[in-house]
Amino acid sequence: QKEVEQNSGPLSVPEGAIASLNCTYSDRGSQSFFWYRQYSGKSPELIMSIYSNGDKEDGRFTAQLNKASQYVSLLIRDSQPSDSATYLCAVGGTSGTYKYIFGTGTRLKVLA
């Protein structure tokens, strides 16, 4: 069973701080990696995608990928109360298919 693991949280950070979210995956053949934000009662919203080792920055968000360690992370700088949500890690291309495996999500709380 291919898996994607995340700490369920909640992760609480003060407003303006850096939030660090982590994810590990089991399938070494995975090809693509994504972070989604999901507000309560809403559908997931794609915020970052990363396909190769290293860092990728987009505004206040930085995704980091380490394929050797099978580890993906998301950093949120200058966290805002509006960032409070559940963050889902997703891995694509498991078993050489067009499937995606999702973690159960980390709940982030940004305290004003």
Partner 1 sequence: SQTIHQWPATLVQPVGSPLSLECTVEGTSNPNLYWYRQAAGRGLQLLFYSVGIGQISSEVPQNLSASRPQDRQFILSSKKLLLSDSGFYLCAWSRGIAGGPGEQFFGPGTRLTVL
Residues lying near partner 1 in the complex (CB under 8 A) are found at: 31-32, 34, 36, 41-46, 49, 88, 90, 92-93, 97-105
The SS3 of residue 55 is strand
Cβ proximity to partner 1, 80 vs 104, nearer residue: 104
Cβ proximity to partner 1, 85 vs 90, nearer residue: 90
- Taking the complex as a whole, the smallest distance from the CB of residue 102 to partner 1 amounts, in Å, to 4
Round to whole Å and give the CA distance between 86 and 9. 9
* Tokens 């009662």, located at residue: 41
Cβ proximity to partner 1, 63 vs 79, nearer residue: 63
- Taking the complex as a whole, the smallest distance from the CB of residue 46 to partner 1 amounts, in Å, to 6
CA 29, 71, 19, 75 dihedral sign is negative
**C-beta of residue 56 within 8 angstroms of C-beta of residue 63:** yes
- Taking the complex as a whole, the smallest distance from the CB of residue 43 to partner 1 amounts, in Å, to 4
